[in-house]
A and B are shown apart, each in its own frame.
Chain A
Amino acid sequence: MPKLADLLVPAPLRKTPKPGEAGVPKTPAPQDLKTSPPERPTDLGRFGEKALEAPMESVAWIDQRMAASGFLTGMLFRKVPKGTNWFYTLGSATLFAFIVQAVTGVFLAMFYTPSTTQAYSSIAHINNDVFLGQFVHGMHKWGASVMVILIFLHMGRTFFFGAYKYPRELNWVIGVVLLILTMTMAFTGYLLPFDQRSYWASIVGININGTGPIVGPYLSDFLRAGPEVGATTLSRFYAIHMLLVPGAIIALIGAHLYLVVKLGTTAPPWTKADKPRIAEPTTLLDAGVAGNGYHPNGTGTIAGVQIDGHGGDGTATA
């Protein structure tokens, strides 16, 4: 029976099937084909089969173009070192808190108006009228605190575990920038509800920036966007909080996680590798991204121990 792809793709564009593949008769058609067609499944049956095939077909279609499945399985089944414990969940917990902020933030943005005359009432509208409004608003508000706590805990973990040392220095640097950006989010988000607390706290915050050496006054002028904290300040904070910083955070989290996968996470510093006397059979899936670029060849003598039986280690899946 024809594949769904063949039904959709016009004939000239179709892949030329290799001999032996489904649809290419290896031998001439049997004689009786010419007289009585072979039994065909009912239309309903064929539709069901096709429907079953469709998801796999489209996944395959995408994978043929992205060639991502090797990388993805490599990432998913890469080995994390012995001793990895609950402290290692703090980074992904931070990521998760960020996702909560992003999702709740999108919903808040649907109802929020960044103008000095309407900001306050639009938040009141969210709180009082919108279905689950106060709940989502509350999640965003408290999620900010949770994310700040988690990012500090995660930084503390990597600090005390010495995880910022070779070869993960760059990931630490990216992390510190993420920390600054997260605090920027906390600061700029605080003005948006435009109640007394946020208004006056932002004034003090902007003035604090203004006392800084050299760039201080420029920074506070930029933040205030005018002689007084007002409409322009609010829209500037809004743009920073909604576009600029989240974009930068997403990009940097991407880079951060790329390095996490590429370099692998540390083992806790107390964990010792007792050297194996006989090489252990490693699973086939150990290949992939686990193969890091540090060993010129994946197999061979490592620390005086012959390691073998793990075809593919060191040769990252393309």
Chain B
Amino acid sequence: MAHSLLEKIKSGVLWDFPGGVHPPERKSMSITDSVDTLPLTDYYYVPLKQHIGVYSELRVKVGDKVKKGQALTFSNHNMAVPVHAPTSGEIIEIGEHVSSHASGIPEKTVTIKSDGLDESIELQPQSHFHTQSKESIIKALQEAGITGLGGAGFPTHVKQQAQDIEYLLINGVECEPYITADDMLMRNYADEIVHGIEVLAHLLEPKLVVIAIEDNKPEAIAALDEACKDKQQFIVRKIPTKYPAGGEKQLIQVLTGKQVPKGSPPAALGIVSQNVGTCYAIYKAIYTGEPLIERIVTITGENLDKPQNVWARIGTPVEHLLNTAGYHPEDINAQKLVMGGPMMGFNLHSAQVPVTKSTNCIIAPTQQELPPAPPEKACIRCSDCADACPASLLPQQLYWHSSAKEYDKAQDLNLFDCIECGACAFVCPSDIPLVQYYRQAKAEIRQAEVEQEKAEQAKKRFEARAERLEKEKEARLAKHKKAAENRKKAMQSDPSAQDKVAAALARVQAKKAEQTENNTDSAQSTVKSKAEQAIELAKAKRLAKQGETKTSEEFSNTNDNENASDNKSKAQAAIERAKAKRLAKQAAQAQAENTEADANITGAQNTTDAQSDTKADTKSVAKAAIERAKAKRLAKQAAQTQAENTEADANTTGAQNTTDAQPDTKSVAQAAIERAKAKRLAKQNAQAQAENTEADANTTGAQNTTDAQSDTKADTKSVAKAAIERAKAKPLAKEAQQIQTEHDEANASEPKLEENNDKSLQAASSASDTKAKAQAAIAKAKARRQQSDDNAEMNNATQATHEHVDISSDNKAKARAAIERAKARRQQAEQQTNEAASVEENDHDSEQKVRIKAAIAKAKAKREQGQ
């Protein structure tokens, strides 16, 4: 069978493919006597990837001097081929440059500034390829960067690795209108092409080599006939002119009558096809050693004085080609430039697009020549497209499904068998750009596939992560258990361990005595977390009571007292926040006290304001970051408070929305007065402070117990460090060193308070951990101290926004008004503070304004995003 097929082919039998069209050829205008070499230009843009396959890595950098033919990239991947420097010069840029792709999306490109010398690297010809192994020749082809020059840019060496090849088809068909690059090549370089084919034949060992040329190129046929006349194995076959006979599948069908099955390469049928241009490049690479840095490009179109074919270096900007050919656009802005043929090519976005390995033609047509696409009309179901389709598809059905985005149905109709030849669009009487629809559909489908793949990946990663978390949790639990058991055992078996605990307890107690705290609860030292909770609870209760019994004024006073008296203690601030939170909750329970609660929250925040360290701020990034961190946390807290209790939220919002109304203004004024009072009181009131820090100290004690149990050293160290930091940062701290230390301790243990008890217990069992935490806490506390006022303000603003989002998320104007009000109120309060306490500095004030503006902008942006 195969034998008879071989006979048939040899005897000149031709088959036909279905469909096909006969577009106007317009080839004659670019046919000239010879092919000139384009003069050098100044800049060359070499895209890093010019083939189908994978990216290669750069092996040069900006500033490097390169020589003509030097490889710019390398890769060990089989599907990658390098690109080479088209001339000698300097690499001045490696970056994005408009791509020779229909989209024009910039791609990574090496820009070479030519030095005009065109110095070449030393070439290593392998003209005695018959004596060399096939592997080394294939490697040489790969290193010469040879890809299919016909259009698709498939790496040539990959095709040459095929086995059991019967037919090697050389494609000199060139069926697209306008293009004459292959024609000119065959006319002028027939011998070289045949040499190239010999290399391929040596690699593939086919039974027959068929060089196919359309019958509209008699000169080329004659030239090749002449070159092949003493080659038994080579046949030059003239085939009828019909578009798209040059398509690989169509050509195979015409020459062998075989149809390439879907999804498999022609090599599966024992057929390999190569373009004549590729054969010439192979000749160059093997016989002269020169890599692929040059190709024939047709420059044509009626807007050129001298349409012609030129040898253009890869990377030459299209503009240079056009200028060489006498480019005279009618209207430079409306001028259309087409890369490739009119059937399968695309419009260029810029004349700076470089020539690549697969650029065969540049057309600069007049408006008449290739007029803009006429408006698309409705499909009249004439089925002309189906008759023209060389792949026997149903273009009109594909069009329906593609435009309706029913991609699965389009795929069922073999969308991916479409070779995008454009024959259907060419015949369509309704001027429907059918191919574009298919391309779009294909792109969408490919994208969906990529996304599907990514989703798979994400799922795997998600599951792996879930598993990992589960394992970690188990491991942690097991560790806890083991540690607890070990401790127990040690306690029971080793009396000295008990001594140690006792010693630790003693140390703790000593410390507490130092702290002028006598109400040490012995339970605390052993059951830390419980004690902590109890203290929290007790404090909460006490505060709740206070909130109920005291008037709002008194309460705010107390708050302010606390703040003022130890106005550097951020632990206190945290507790305050907790208080505020609790109060907000309370407010919901006792509706009557809502305004008070609100006033308290505001008061507390404003107090933080008053505490502010007006020290000149270093504008380090770190600080800014911490600032934002703090602001965000406070904002969140505020939001959380609201989230926790919608009733309270509604009430608070109500209060804020009526900022101008009396009660609120009053409360603001009150807050200001209170602050002033607090300041005064702070100077004398040591007792109130002691009282207020009581709970605090208790907590500290509890924490210290843990620390003492695990590693007293780390704790002491952190405390000392904190003290030093504090002393440095705070010249205002004239209070007793003891109080200082106390607060620092509170600070150090604060994050633990915030964290889950169980976790902190564990963390404390590791010395280094404790240290790190303490340091983190110090950093935090420091930042907080320095930035607290800004934060409070941001908080105000953000709070307003948050509240607003909560109640009426759709009303932007209202939200803005709320922010404005919040701002106004803050400024008012500030002013009053200034008057009453006169501690604020003017420039500080303005700085704050800038900051609050930034904060509001941020909050706004965030809210809008959220909407």
Q: Do A and B bind each other?
A: no
